[in-house]
Homo-oligomer: A and B are copies of this chain.
Amino acid sequence: MENLPQHFDSVFTVDCIIFGFDEGELKILLIERNEEPFNGWFALPGYFVEKTESIESAAERILYECTGLKGIYMEQFYTFGALERHPQGRVITVAYYAMIRLTNQKDLKPVTTFARQAVWMPVKDMPELAFDHSRIFRKGFEKIRNKISYQPIAFELLPEKFTLTQLQHLYEVILNKKLDKRNFRKKMLAYDILKELDEKQKGVSYRAAKLYKFDKRKYAKHFNKELTFTKE
C-alpha cells in the first residue's frame, strides 16, 4: 500500500448518542436529516470530522450545533466501519455518548443546515434510523446500562437538585426493572457521593421530599477519577 501524503486525508464522522431524562422518560436526541442520503430520516446527531480538529472536539462541536450545549463530557465507545454502512462510500464513524441535563430548553433548534430539526425521542418509541444508527444506538444503550450498574453516572441526567425517588426512577428506566426503595436508598447513600440539602421539594400535593445534590468532591475521592462530568 502506498503512503503518499495526499492519501493522509481521512474522511470520517462522529455520531453521538445524547441521553436526556424528561417527564420520567429516557430520551435521546435525534435529528431529522436534511440532505441525501436518508434525507428526511431520523438519525443520530453526527457529521464529518474536520481535518483540523480532534475527534473529541468534533464530537463537542456537533453536540453544540444540535443543542447549544458546551462542555459536556462525552465518552467514546465504539467505531463502526462496515463496508456498506454508508451508501456513498467507505465512511467509518466514531461513536460517542453523553448524558445531559435537559432543564428548560426542551425545544432545541439545530444550528446546522444538515439537520431540519432536532427532537428528543423517547427511547421506547425509537424509529428505525438512517445508516446503521439503530445498531449504534443499541450498542451505546447497552454500554450505559452496563456502566450505570457499577458506576454512579446517572446524576448527569438529573437537574442539579433532585430527590432520591427521582434518582431511583431514572435507574429503573435505564435498567428496565423495578428496584426496592429501601435498598436503593441505602446503597446510594452508602456510596457517600450525595449531599443532602436543607431544602425540600415544592409544589407537590403530598409530603415533600428532601433534595440532594451530587457531590463531585466525594465522588472524586471514592472513585479517584478526574471530575470528568463537566470538563472545565
Residues of A whose CB lies within 8 Å of any CB of B are 1, 3, 5, 7-12, 35, 47-55, 76, 78-79, 81-83, 86, 88-92, 94
- A127 CB to closest chain B CB (Å) equals 24
Residues of B within 8 A of A78 (CB): 76
Which chain B residue lies CB-closest to A90? Answer: B10
A100 vs B55: C-alpha distance in the bound complex, in angstroms? 31
Q: Is the CB of A3 within 8 A of B88?
A: yes
Instruction: Using known A-B contacts A1-B50, A81-B55, A81-B94, determine if residue A8 contacts B76 with beta carbons closer than 8 Å.
Output: no
> Smallest CB–CB gap between A82 and chain B, Å?
6
- Pick from B9, B54, B92: contact of A55, CB below 8 A: B92
Query: How far apart are the CA atoms of A175 and B81 in the complex, in Å?
Result: 32
Q: Whole-angstrom distance from the CB of A35 to the nearest CB of chain B?
A: 8
- Smallest CB-CB separation from A55: which chain B residue? B81
Chain B: minimal CB distance from A18 (Å): 19
Do A8 and B91 touch (CB < 8 A)? yes
User: Contacts A55-B81, A76-B78 given: A91-B10 contact, CB under 8 Å?
Assistant: yes
A24–B79 Cα gap in the complex (Å)?
A: 34
Contact present for A88 and B8 (CB under 8 Å)? yes
Q: Which of the residues B12, B50, B76 comes within 8 Å of A10, measured between beta carbons? A: B12
Q: How near does chain B come to A6, taking the closest CB pair, in angstroms?
A: 9
For A57, the closest partner residue in chain B by CB is B83
CA distance A52 to B55 in the complex (A): 24
| Cα-based distance from A47 to B1 in the complex (angstroms) | 9
**Chain B, Cβ-Cβ closest to A89:** B8
CB proximity of A84 to chain B, nearest CB, Å: 9
Contact B52 A10 (CB under 8 A): no
User: Which residues on the B side are within 8 Å of A7 (C-beta)?
Assistant: 11
Please tell me which one of the listed residues B5, B50, B86, B90 contacts residue A89 in the complex, with CB atoms under 8 A apart: B5
Which residues of chain B have C-beta atoms less than 8 A from A92's C-beta?
10, 12, 55, 94
The answer to whether A79 touches B55, judged by C-beta atoms less than 8 angstroms apart, is yes
